[in-house]
Amino acid sequence: MKNQELGKREQGTGCKIRMVDTFHQSPALWLTLGQVFMGLALLLALGYYLWPALVPLATRIANDDNYSSGLIIPLVIGYITYRKWPELRQPWRPSWWGLAVLTLGFGLFFLGAVLTIEYISQLSLVVLLAGVLWLLGGWQRVKQLSFPLLLLAMVIPLPQFFISKLTLRMQLASSQLAAEMLRLAGYPVALFGNVIDLGDRQLQVVAACSGLGYLFNALGLGVIFCYFFQRQAWKVVLLLLAMIPFAIVGNATRLACIGIWPIFEKGFWHASFGLSIFILGFDYLRGINWLLNYVSPMSTREEGKGKGEKDADLIHEMPIPNPESTLPGPRPRFSSYASLAAGLVLVLVISPFAVRGVQVTPVPLKQSFERFPMQLGPWEGRHVHVESSIVAATGADKVLNADFTNPAQGPVSLWIAYYENQRSRASVHSPMTCLIGSGWKTAHTEVFELAPGKPINFLILDQGGNRMAVYYWYFERGRWLASDYGHKLGIGLDRLRLGRADGALVRLTTPVTGDVGQAKARLDSFLHQLRPILPEFIKDDKRSEK
C-alpha cells in the first residue's frame, strides 16, 4: 500500500476519515531515546535553576481559594494530552527556533525579577516550557499543545495590584450581597467596604483590599468548559461574561456561610465548600450553554468543535497499523542533536545569570521604629498596636503606627510600612485600594510637589458623611515617588543600579471637620516636622555594600 491513502465517509456521521500509511513516510524524524534524555535534561536543568519561582507558585495555588482550580488543571491537561496522543505520536522535528523562545523566556524571568512582578517571572515558566517543546518537536507540537500551555498560564496568579484595580468594585458588590444574606438570616451586620462586622468577629479584615480574585477561578472553569462543549465565539464570550455574576454571588454565598457557620472558615470544611461551589459553577455553565444552543442551535460542524474535537468536516488522519511499525525509524540527523545540545548549553549558561543576577542585599532600618520620637515640635504622639495579621498582609518587615496631636491644630495619624527588600508579594502598594476596600469613597485626588522632586498624593475620602484627608508617598532609596507605576519602575532600575530594593510607604491621615484647607494645613504642619526625621531611620540612595 505504498504512498496510498484510503478514503471513506463514516456512515451517518458525515465525518471524512483518511487512512494514512505512515510506515513508508521516511523523511520525518521520530524522537529517539537520546533525544528524550536530552529533553529531560533540559527540563531538569530548568527546574533546578527556577525552583525558587516554582515553590511559591505551587504553594499559592494549593492555599489560595482564588486559584484552587489550578489543582485540577494537571488532570485536564493529562486528559487533553491523552486525546491528542495519536497526533503526538507522529514524527517529531526538532527546531532551532526553540532557542529563541528559550531566550525570550529567560528575558521575561529576568524582567519579572527586576520589577518584582512575580507574575511575569512565573509566566516565563510557560514560555520556557514552550521553548523546550519547540526545540524537541517544532511549531507543530507547540500548536497541538497550545491549549494545555494556555491552561498553565491561567493557573499563574495575576499581580495583586492588578486584581485589586480590576475587581475591587466587584468585591464591594459581593460583600454587600453577603451582608444582605446575613441580615436575612437574622444576623446584625455592619458593613465597612469589604469588612463585614458581626459584632463578635469580623470577616475579610485582611482581604479588604484584595479585590475579587475568585473571579479568575471562575473564568478558568469557564475556559475549560468552553474547550470541551462550546466553540462558537459569541457563545464563548457570553459564557465567560456569565461567570462574573456567578463569581460575585458565589463569593457572597461563601462569606455568608462563614458568617453563619464559622466551621467553614478554614480546614477541610472550607475546602469542601469551595469544591461544591466549583461543581455548581459547572452546572451553571451547562444550563446557560443549553439555553444558548436552544436559542441558536449549533450545526453539525459546530457540534464537533463543541466536543473538543477537530472540525467534524475536516479530515481525521488515522495511521494504518503495520506489523513492521516497531522497526527502528530513520537515523536522526546530526542537527537535531545539535539543537538540543545548544538548548541545554543555553539553559546552563543563562539560568544562573537570570536567577542570581537580580539578587539584592536587604537593607534594614538605620534604627528601630521603637526609637521613633513621639515628640515632633508641638506634636505629641503615641504608638498604636497593629494586629500581626494586618502586618503579615502588608508583607512589610517593619511598621510604625502612631497618633500625634497638636493642641492648636488637632490629630494626625502616621503610618510607615518599611520593606528591606521588596519582592513580588512583599512590596509597597498603594493605600488607595485598601482605604476604598475599608469603606471609604474618593471625593478628591491630586498630586502636588512639596518641593522639587518630592511629589505627594493628596486624597479627600468620605464614609457616611465622615471625611478624611490623606497624604501618602513612596520614600525609597532617597527618592520621593507618588506614582504606582513609577514606584515599580524605580525598584527595577535601582536593583540594577544600586543592588537595592528597599523602600517605605509613608501615609498621613487627619479628619476633615470643617474646611478642607484647614485639614491640609494640619498635614503640612506635621509633615514639616516629620520630613527631617525620615532619613534618620530610612537609608538614602547610596549603593548597598555587599
Residues 192 and 45 in one domain: no
Residues 50 and 125 in one domain: yes
The answer to whether residue 546 sits within a structural domain is no
Residues 145 and 84 in one domain: yes
The answer to whether residue 542 sits within a structural domain is no
Residues 152 and 171 in one domain: no
Residues 515, 510: Cα–Cα separation, whole Å: 12
The answer to whether residue 310 sits within a structural domain is no
Residues 402 and 338 in one domain: no
Q: Which three cell numbers stand for residue 125?
A: 515558566
Residues 204 and 287 in one domain: yes
pLDDT: which is higher, 434 or 138: 138
Residues 279 and 383 in one domain: no
Residues 93, 139: Cα–Cα separation, whole Å: 9
The answer to whether residue 432 sits within a structural domain is yes
What is the total count of domains within the chain? 3
Residues 171 and 185 in one domain: yes
Residues 183 and 73 in one domain: no
- Residue 5 pLDDT exceeds 60: no
- Residue 464 pLDDT exceeds 70: yes
Residues 379 and 351 in one domain: no
Confidence of residue 251 (pLDDT cuts 50, 70, 90): confident
Q: What single-letter amino acid sits at 113? A: A
The answer to whether residue 504 sits within a structural domain is yes
The answer to whether residue 222 sits within a structural domain is yes
Residues 287, 530: Cα–Cα separation, whole Å: 60
User: Domain range for residue 134?
Assistant: 5-156+320-356
Q: What single-letter amino acid sits at 44? A: L
Residues 119 and 214 in one domain: no
Q: What pLDDT is stored for residue 6 in this prediction? A: 41
The answer to whether residue 377 sits within a structural domain is yes
Residues 6+ away with beta carbon under 8 Å from 259: 178, 182, 187, 189, 196, 198, 203
What average pLDDT does the structure give for the chain?
Answer: 79
- Residue 321 pLDDT exceeds 70: no
Q: Which three cell numbers stand for residue 51?
A: 525552583
At 374-415, the pLDDT tens digits run: 999 999 999 999 888 788 878 889 999 999 999 989 999 999
The answer to whether residue 307 sits within a structural domain is no
Residues 173, 194: Cα–Cα separation, whole Å: 9
- Residue 325 pLDDT exceeds 50: no
Residues 408 and 476 in one domain: yes
Confidence of residue 65 (pLDDT cuts 50, 70, 90): low
Is residue 12 helix, strand or coil?
Answer: coil
